[in-house]
């Protein structure tokens, strides 16, 4: 269930409540006349099934400029009317994509922040150390820590809605993030090489890490599956599944291997790492965008009566 707090001009409060009463899956409607001060107006509270959110938000979109809309996720609702509302709403909660929520989330994760750069740099360095130590554990640690799927999801959403500015902004974030992470890892590896700590012979090339520098059709298939799973995990709110996506793709390991190979002058491995990184990002964008198209067009939602 979702909890909605709406602020409406008093002259349109009856219109808001009429919409809520008409939408299937909405219950526990409360009207507090004149309770709001900034902006001033009536406060209207209600609970709604996830499947109802798109219709409610679509029909009350004007409140964004004339009032206010706030949504909270309800962890526990002990109410027979709430259970009946969920049953009344067509479809399943996990299948419902709340497009406004998704747009807000990817918009927030599409920008260049210090946290994004630091996490990506640390993840790339972990992967770089992993290929030097031939440690799959360190490589997987870098995969889990990496935050690059946020901008990738934003690119997918931008392509879906034809928001080209968001696509360009997210691509810039992704490229800048990987460039900075590779540069930091390259500098650390170069200093380690000058100090005699590492050499070309330390760069792992065994079966454990061979998948990083030898992209093939399976690499692209894995990237496609990861793109689908990643988008579904965000739209359905399954964070544990998103962590699994990070483990399945080799973007950060390829970036770490690339940085170390550059520092050690291993140009053949550099080419393979670049190909692997590019293939994974392209595959996830393609699959993620396709998944959003399918969700928007075919999956059951209350949005039957309103456009997404």
> What is the mean pLDDT of the segment spanning 196-217?
78
Looking at the structure, tell me whether residues 89 and 145 fall in a common domain.
Answer: no
CA atoms within 13 A of residue 191's CA, in its CB half-sphere = 5
Q: How many other C-beta atoms are found inside a 10 Å radius of the C-beta of residue 14?
A: 12
pTM value is: 0.83
- Whether residue 229 is found in the same domain as residue 291: yes
pLDDT at 302: 41
* 235 pLDDT more than 90: no
The token duo for 7 is 């602020």
Residue 32 lies in a domain: yes
**Distance of alpha carbon 203 from alpha carbon 86, whole angstroms:** 56
Cα–Cα distance, 156 to 162 (Å, whole number): 10
- CA 176/CA 112 separation, integer angstroms: 8
Domain range holding 19? 2-94
* Distance between CA atoms of residues 42 and 36, nearest Å: 6
73 shares a domain with 17: yes
Same domain for 110 and 85: no
Please tell me whether residues 105 and 51 are part of one structural domain.
Answer: no
Instruction: Give pLDDT tens digits for 236-269.
Output: 766 655 555 565 577 899 999 999 999 998 888 8
pLDDT in tens, 59-110: 999 999 999 999 998 888 888 888 888 888 777 766 778 888 888 888 888 8
> Dihedral of CA 216/222/109/123: which sign?
negative
Answer yes or no: do 121 and 207 share one domain: yes
């Amino acid at each position: 269930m979702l909890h909605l707090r709406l602020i409406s001009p008093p002259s349109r409060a009856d219109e808001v409540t009429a919409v809520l009463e008409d939408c299937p899956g909405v219950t526990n409607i409360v009207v507090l006349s004149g309770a709001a001060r900034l902006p001033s107006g009536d406060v209207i509270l209600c609970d709604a099934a996830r499947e109802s959110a798109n219709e409610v938000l679509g029909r009350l979109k004007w409140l964004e400029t004339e009032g206010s809309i706030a949504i909270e996720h309800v962890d526990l609702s002990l109410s027979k009317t709430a259970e009946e509302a969920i049953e009344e709403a067509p479809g399943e909660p996990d299948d419902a994509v709340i497009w406004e929520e998704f747009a807000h989330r990817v918009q927030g994760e599409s920008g260049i922040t210090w946290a994004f750069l630091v996490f990506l740099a640390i993840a790339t360095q972990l992967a770089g150390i992993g290929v030097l130590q031939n440690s799959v554990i360190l490589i997987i640690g870098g995969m889990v820590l990496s935050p690059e799927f946020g901008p990738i999801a934003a690119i997918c959403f931008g392509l879906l809605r034809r928001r080209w500015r968001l696509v360009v902004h997210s691509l810039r974030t992704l490229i800048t993030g990987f460039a900075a992470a590779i540069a930091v890892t390259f500098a650390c590896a170069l200093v380690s090489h000058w100090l005699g700590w590492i050499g070309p012979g330390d760069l792992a090339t065994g079966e454990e890490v061979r998948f990083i520098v030898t992209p093939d059709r399976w690499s692209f298939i894995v990237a496609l599956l990861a793109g689908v799973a990643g988008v579904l995990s965000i739209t359905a709110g399954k964070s544990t599944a998103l962590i699994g996506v990070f483990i399945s793709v080799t973007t950060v390991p390829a970036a770490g291997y690339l940085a170390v190979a550059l520092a050690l002058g291993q140009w053949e491995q550099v080419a393979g790492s670049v190909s692997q990184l590019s293939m994974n990002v392209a595959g996830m964008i393609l699959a993620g965008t396709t998944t959003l198209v399918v969700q928007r067009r075919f999956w059951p939602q209350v949005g039957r009566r309103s456009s997404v």
